[in-house]
Amino acid sequence: MAEALIYDHVRTPRGRGRTDGALHGVAPIQLTTRVLEALRDRNGLDTGLVDDVVLGVVSPVGEQGCNMARIAALQAGYAETVTGLQINRFCASGLEAVNLAGARVKAGEAEAMIAGGTESMSRVPIFSDGGACYSDPRSNWDTWYIPQGIGADLIATMDGYDRETVDRYALESQNRAARAWDEGWFERSVVPVRDSLGETLLARDEHLRPGTSLADLARLKPAFADMGARDGLDAVMLQRYPEVERISHVHTGGNSSGIVDGAAAILIGTPDFGAASGLKPRARIRAAGNIGSEPAIMLTGPAPVTGKVLARAGMTIDDIDLFEVNEAFAAVVLRYMRAFDLPPDRVNVAGGAIAMGHPLGATGAILIGTLLDELERRDLSTGLVTLCAAAGMAIAMVIERV
């Protein structure tokens, strides 16, 4: 079986996902086009060697509908032989794109693939696609749809993370992200987004709040308490977790992932592709996989999927140097670290989605890039990325430098 090697990756900076965000004026197809152009240009890539573009998009409707992957490839001026595919595995979409691209390469069905993701949450808000899991009473009822913040709060309740604990985690995410930016850790991979005049709209993640204090975070209102009571969501959750007396609502806008706009792309290929293109591989995809977990609480899959993927690769948790665990909510990462007894200085070392935001379809690909950059900068070997996803799914991938 061929090896799937990662040659390069780029991402846009993440703009605040609101109408005053710096990327709000940029259509998602242009964000996608931008990362495809950047990946080609900085590698001198002969796009005729690329087989396919796989793009994760979580709200694939309106201007994110149809198939942005193919259209962006055409718009970026890629060879017309390059096809495009758009996929949705909720928050795991970006990493699933990488997973799928890697699998095609390993299977010998492709020489080179581009994998990534795009989400313009300011322009195509989450839930714009109106799926059965939310709105169809039968699906909603039978599959225990409960907004994930309630699940995050339940994890905190069951694990005993109080408000200060989750806020402290959030503060650390802010501090790490600020330091990473200040020390230039992201500069290699973040490509500025410009308008048609060439003027820079955004060059740096916009969602960060440097200088945030614990007191600032403590002032924020729990985000899910009202809906939990008003819509009976807490009561429904307790039907699934009846040993719990009540849910303690600790998550806020400050300790949950931010709503942002952004895109990312990764170039994956065989060793022969690298040789033909004159590119040096940076890492290999060692193992990847998905798992389903209890859908009501929704967010508890990262630890089980990590165990599954490590077992498949014949590895143990101690073989992993660095971890990127998507900061959907603080409690998700806290539970993960507790499950494997991980020291905090090996997890999300450059901050995460709490500080910099979570452009749903793109995040998985962004995390691969961040992990790879940090493995190289610290001269470490092996890293693992994992994300929880809606309806009780989770994904993980292990990469190692070559």
Partner 1 sequence: MTTLHITTDADGIATFLIDMPERGQNVLTPAFHADLARAIDRLCADDGLIGAILTSARPSGFMAGADLREILPLMEAGLTPAAAAAWVRPGSALFRRLESCGKPVVAALNGLALGGGFELALACHRRILVDRPDAIVGLPEVTLGLLPGAGGTQRLPRLIGIEKALPLLLEGRSVGPAEALRLGLVDALAAPEALLDAARDWLRARPPARAPWDEKGFRVPGGAGPLAPHAPRTFQAGTARLKATRSCYPAPRAILSAVYEGTQVPIDTGLRIESAYFGHLMAGPVAANLVRSFLRRGEARRRAAFGTARASGLAVRRLGVLGAGMMGAGLANVAAGAGLDVTLLDRTAEAAGKGLAHARGQRERDVARGLLPAGKAEALLGRIHPTDRTADLAGADLIIEAVFENRAVKTEIIAATAPLLADSGLFASNTSTLPISSLATAAPRPERFIGLHFFSPVERMPLVEVIVGRATADQSVADALAFVSRLGKVPIVVHDSPGFYTSRVFCTYIDEAMAMLAEGVAPALIENAARMLGFPAPPLAVTDEVSLDLQQLVIDQARADGLDARFLRGAAAPVVARMVALGRLGRKSGAGFYDYAADGSKRLWPGLAELWPVAAHQPAVEEVGRRLLFIQALESARCLAEGVIDDAATADLGSVLGIGFPAWTGGALSVIPTVGRDVFLAACARFAATAGARFEGAPALLADIPGSAGPRRAA
Q: Which of the residues are catalytic?
A: 91, 358, 388
Contact call for residue 246 and partner 1 (CB under 8 A) = yes
Residues 6+ apart with CB under 8 A from 109: 51
Residues 6+ apart with CB under 8 A from 229: none
Q: Which two tokens stand for residue 53?
A: 């573009």
Which residues in the 115-134 window bind partner 1 by CB under 8 A?
127, 130-132, 134
Contact call for residue 136 and partner 1 (CB under 8 A) = yes
Select the residue interacting with partner 1 from 1, 239, 314, 379 (CB under 8 A). Answer: 239
Closest approach of Cβ 139 to partner 1, in Å? 9
Q: Would you say 145 or 161 has its CB closer to partner 1?
A: 145
Select the residue interacting with partner 1 from 18, 79, 125, 141 (CB under 8 A). Answer: 141
Whole-number Å distance between alpha carbons of 312 and 399: 14
Element (H, E) at 178: helix 163-182
Contact call for residue 238 and partner 1 (CB under 8 A) = yes
Q: Which amino acid is at 354?
A: I
Select the residue interacting with partner 1 from 75, 83, 140, 189 (CB under 8 A). Answer: 140
Contact call for residue 135 and partner 1 (CB under 8 A) = yes
Select the residue interacting with partner 1 from 49, 85, 158, 244 (CB under 8 A). Answer: 244
Q: Would you say 62 or 304 has its CB closer to partner 1?
A: 62
3 state DSSP class of 64: helix
Residue positions counted in the chain: 402
Q: How far is it between the farthest Cα atoms of the chain? A: 62
On whether the CB atoms of residues 395 and 305 are closer than 8 A, the answer is yes
Closest approach of Cβ 229 to partner 1, in Å? 10
On whether the CB atoms of residues 209 and 217 are closer than 8 A, the answer is no
Closest approach of Cβ 295 to partner 1, in Å? 14
On whether the CB atoms of residues 96 and 261 are closer than 8 A, the answer is no
Q: Which residues bind partner 1 (CB under 8 A)?
A: 127, 130-132, 134-138, 140-141, 145-146, 227, 230-233, 235-236, 238-239, 242-246
